[in-house]
Structure 1
């Protein structure tokens, strides 16, 4: 009996203790709720006033100079090299002899082709005379004429091979590399003999992003600086703009540069293209980070009455580095929230911080 009374008292005391704890927790929660209700639960954000600024589209980009023309000269006929007329570093003109291949066998073939052509011409004359008297048929005469035509083509082919034995430069340029020596055997279309480059003009190859390429046009004049000649000013002209971006979402651009200064630029040197544009009228600019999610969302938060975040739909223009042009939906002087948007919805109380 006594044991049952003790057990009941313990249970009663435990229940009373739990009730006391719950009451204290409820009181604390009520106090916190009151604090939030008083405004201490507002989200801290950073802000910036939207203002109009002049747009400067100027930019510079680095690239590498490439020759206007470069050629790996290959042997066109097989034979042993009997003479080389140029050395590395020599300047050559189009049609200038570079080397010669032994043409003894080729000359023999040419003489044989000439003899065959003369025989075919004589045969054609005899057949034509006999045809007049009925001694040969029209078909035999036609075959004789065809034989003359084929013999003439074989002679032209042999003359071409003899001419190819004297290897000539197909471009104006400089002998950058010589890969053959006198006495070496060259295989037709298989042996590289020379590397020829033309650096009278150069191509500066650069890559620009989508916001930059939109302002470029073929034929635009571009100031060029060569890194190794900082005091020289070169001028270039845009000759190529890629119609498609590369894997890194950049657009290759080529600029033709006249290499006619006292200090000659060499292919492979680094250069800088300086793109300059007229300054445009001031327009509203906001930080890129002000956009909710990304610039393509065309949404941002502005500071509304009562320090509440107001979600605003805008029309974004050009991306200018870390800033973005706003074409519609925002007025000059409005306060834009630039950080803390992840915690905001339309109407969230906010506290601007410095």
Structure 2
């Protein structure tokens, strides 16, 4: 009996201890949950300062060099390649023969057409003599003359076709790719060579609406290539798009004459510098402060522990910084990270 009472007391003590520990853990969890709720009520953001600074008035735009001329030379007659006269990297001139295609069958066609032409020509001479003496009618003579004209046209066509056994280039440049070898059989239109002319290249860049108004066709532009930091090139604007893309950028093409060594190559990364090198003191904020695109003109400013939505008027683009004409003041803390979760008056926590 006494042992049973002791057992009951021990069990009760154990249960009481377990209950105490559970209640203690519950209180701790509730406290942590409340603290987390307080923390999560704010949005973590990073800020930067709107400030006045001297900036270069030159507007930079990046793009890729492309060749002014790039053509694929194709076979104009079917046949087997007999000889290839150029290799990849060879310089070629307009009208130069690049390869020769087997033309035996074409030469037979020319011979047949020549024989028909000779016979038609002889018929015309005989019928004209006979017509002069009244041996044939005018209608018969006209019929023979018509056959002669057809024979002459067929001969010219056969000769033109026979001339197509040579594959020629219509432009000067460098053989960028050779797609055939001796023995290759080509169908009409089969690509044989890629010819690239890099004596003149084009740089295609996008210019925003605030800077495109200062540009005009024929304007001189300074151009650099990323791989030649010590070399400068000069180009001229040859095209300004009359319509912008979805980001309010206007495609602009600049034509650049390559140097004697053809240092510029198609596919290289280039930078065009528009405007002059004067500096001006302006109020700027980081590009990352804008919600969406710069053209949306919306930013958030940190005021105390809240984010305040601001509608600004943006100005010129200076790379990583954008001029602000109105909407924020010098010294304002603009939010540059975390805006996706913000609304006007949203509580914030500024993190470093």
Taking the aligned partners of 2:124 and 2:315, their CA distance within structure 1 comes to 78
Query: Quick check: 1:141 aligned with 2:141?
Result: yes
Q: Deviation of residue 139 (structure 1)?
A: 2.6
User: Aligned pair in 2 of structure 1 residues 137, 278: CA closer, same or farther (>3 Å)?
Assistant: farther
1:46-195 alignment to 2 at 5 Å?
Answer: 57-189=57-189, 191-195=190-194
Aligned position for 2:201: 202
Q: Which has the greater radius of gyration? A: 1
Q: Distance in 2 between matches of 1:295 and 1:207?
A: 15
Hey, what does 1:221 align to over in structure 2? Answer: 220
State the alpha-carbon separation in 2 of the partners of residues 160 and 112 from structure 1: 14
Residue 13 of structure 1 is matched in structure 2 by none
* Alpha-carbon distance between aligned partners in 2 of 1:268 and 1:132, rounded to the nearest angstrom: 73
Q: Contact conserved, 2:199 with 2:262, CA < 8 A, in 1?
A: no
Give 1:129 deviation, angstroms. 2.4
Q: Is the 8 A contact 1:218 1:239 kept in 2?
A: yes
Structure 1 residue runs of 5 or longer lacking an equivalent are: 1-47, 299-315, 327-333, 344-354
Separation of aligned partners in 2, 1:145 and 1:100: 37
Structure 1's 54 and 262: CA in aligned 2 closer, same or farther, altered over 3 A?
same
Task: Provide the residue aligned with 1:19 in structure 2.
Answer: none
Residue 331 (structure 1) aligns with: none
Deviation of 1:284 after TM superposition, in Å, equals 10
CA distance in 2, matches of 1:174, 1:230: 25
Deviation at 1:323, TM superposition (A): 3.2
Deviation string for 1:259-288 (max 9, x for gaps)? 1154611110101111124869x9998989
Q: For 2:222 and 2:204, how far apart are their aligned partners in 1? A: 14
Distance 1:90 1:243, change over 3 A: same
Distance 1:153 1:271 in 2: 53
Check whether the contact 1:288–1:324 (CA below 8 A) recurs between aligned residues.
Answer: no
Report whether the alignment pairs 1:212 with 2:222: no
Helix, strand or coil at the partner of 1:160: helix
Contact kept, 8 Å, 1:287 with 1:338, in 2: the verdict is no
1:242 is the counterpart of 2:241: yes
Task: Count matched residues.
Answer: 270
User: Root-mean-square deviation (CA), in Å?
Assistant: 3.8
| Partner residue in 1 for 2:41 | none
Map of 2:270 onto structure 1: 271
CA distance in 1, matches of 2:89, 2:316: 48
Q: Secondary structure of 1:322's partner?
A: strand
**2:43 corresponds to:** none
What TM-score do the two structures reach when normalised by structure 2? 0.65
Deviation at 1:154, TM superposition (A): 1.1
SS at match of 2:210: helix
**Inter-partner Cα distance in structure 2 for 1:286 and 1:181:** 61
Query: What do the CA deviations read for 1:140-160 (whole angstroms, capped 9, x no partner)?
Result: 222222222211111111111
CA distance in 1: counterparts of 2:81 and 2:294, whole angstroms: 66
User: Where does the alignment leave 5 or more consecutive residues of structure 2 unmatched?
Assistant: 1-49, 288-292, 298-312, 335-343, 346-352
Partners of 2:251 and 2:56 lie apart in 1 by 22
8 A Cα contact 1:78 1:187, kept in partner:
yes
Deviations 1:297-338 (A, max 9, x none): 99xxxxxxxxxxxxxxxxx89655633558xxxxxxx99x99
